[in-house]
């Protein structure tokens, strides 16, 4: 029955097949500060645009629950850069809140990845029938110590492989820069790999080229936050990205949605 619960939740996230477009809306965090007043409107816009799931924090989900009733919901377990203990009680809380997955991230050196803590979290997710989305962002050091992100596909693949080993159901990684390099990460991976949207890009074309490259490189979709939520028209950009993710559209055809 627990395995059935996980399968049902995953089917709500991947409701259009084996590909997914998630929109992170973790406002009030380092990733998307000072946009609380925009949350309700952006949530409606991206859902109308075809987002498959909303990724947000526990507090935000409670504050804007009415706007999330029709959305597949992924809840982020936040913690400090140097705090590598994952609070297991949040998995149970996510289950009570009707979430479809929980997400944790690790930003730091590969050697410091807290594998035991992650395996404990994974085991708790399994016991609750809760899908586990893991986001490893490998760096030379921690962000608050001036660390720089590592995009070498050989290194990123090591993190993805560890994610598989600890039991992650979905793995979210930074785009490695090209379809060719990303394919070295995704090839043979037994669980879906999706890309993070990363920092705000300067043009719609750049955003769509990143998504197209990710799909060509074997990704199962993306979790695109700031590039959508800060866009002049979040609904239409969501539609354009969704055309690439779900309809295998070209960048040229996707741009027509924004014309």
What pLDDT is recorded for position 83? 56
Task: Compute the distance between CA of residue 72 and CA of residue 98 in angstroms, rounded to an integer.
Answer: 9
Our count of domains for the chain comes to: 1
Q: With 70 as the cut, is the pLDDT of residue 29 above it?
A: no
Per the structure, the complete domain to which residue 72 belongs is given by 2-258
Give percent of the chain with pLDDT exceeding 70. Answer: 92
Closest CA to 168 of 115, 90, 244: 115
How confident is the model over 87-103, as a mean pLDDT?
Answer: 93
How confident is the model over 188-200, as a mean pLDDT?
Answer: 95
What pLDDT is recorded for position 1? 62
CB burial of residue 188 (10 Å; 0-12, 13-18, 19+): exposed
What pLDDT is recorded for position 169? 98
How many CA within 13 A on the CB side of residue 255?
A: 11
Beta partners for residue 32, in sequence order: 27
Task: Compute the distance between CA of residue 170 and CA of residue 157 in angstroms, rounded to an integer.
Answer: 14
What pLDDT is recorded for position 79? 65
65-88 pLDDT, tens per residue? 888 888 899 999 876 555 566 778
Query: Which CATH number do you get for residue 149?
Result: 3.20.20.70
Task: Compute the distance between CA of residue 38 and CA of residue 15 in angstroms, rounded to an integer.
Answer: 26
How confident is the model over 139-157, as a mean pLDDT?
Answer: 92
């Amino acid at each position: 029955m627990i395995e059935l619960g996980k399968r049902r939740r995953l089917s709500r996230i991947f409701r259009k097949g084996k590909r997914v477009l998630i929109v992170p809306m973790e406002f009030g965090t380092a990733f998307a500060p000072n946009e609380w007043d925009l949350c309700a409107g952006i949530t409606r816009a991206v859902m109308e645009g075809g987002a498959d799931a909303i990724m947000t924090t526990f507090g935000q989900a409670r504050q804007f629950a009415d706007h999330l009733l029709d959305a597949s919901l992924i809840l982020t377990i936040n913690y400090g850069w140097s705090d590598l203990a994952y609070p297991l009680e949040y998995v149970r809380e996510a289950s009570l809140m009707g979430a479809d997955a929980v997400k944790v991230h690790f930003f730091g050196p590969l050697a410091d990845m807290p594998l035991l803590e992650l395996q404990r979290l994974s085991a708790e997710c399994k016991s609750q029938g809760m899908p586990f989305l893991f986001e490893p962002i490998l760096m030379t050091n921690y962000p608050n110590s001036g660390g720089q992100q590592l995009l070498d596909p050989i290194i990123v693949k090591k993190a993805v492989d560890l994610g598989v080993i600890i039991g992650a159901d979905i793995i979210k990684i930074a785009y490695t820069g090209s379809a060719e390099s990303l394919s070295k990460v995704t090839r043979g991976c037994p669980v879906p790999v999706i890309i993070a949207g990363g920092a705000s890009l300067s043009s719609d074309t750049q955003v769509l080229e990143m998504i197209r490259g990710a799909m060509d490189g074997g990704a199962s979709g993306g979790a695109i936050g700031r590039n959508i939520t800060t866009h002049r028209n979040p609904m239409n950009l969501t539609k354009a990205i969704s055309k690439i993710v779900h309809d295998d559209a070209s960048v040229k055809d996707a741009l027509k949605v924004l014309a």
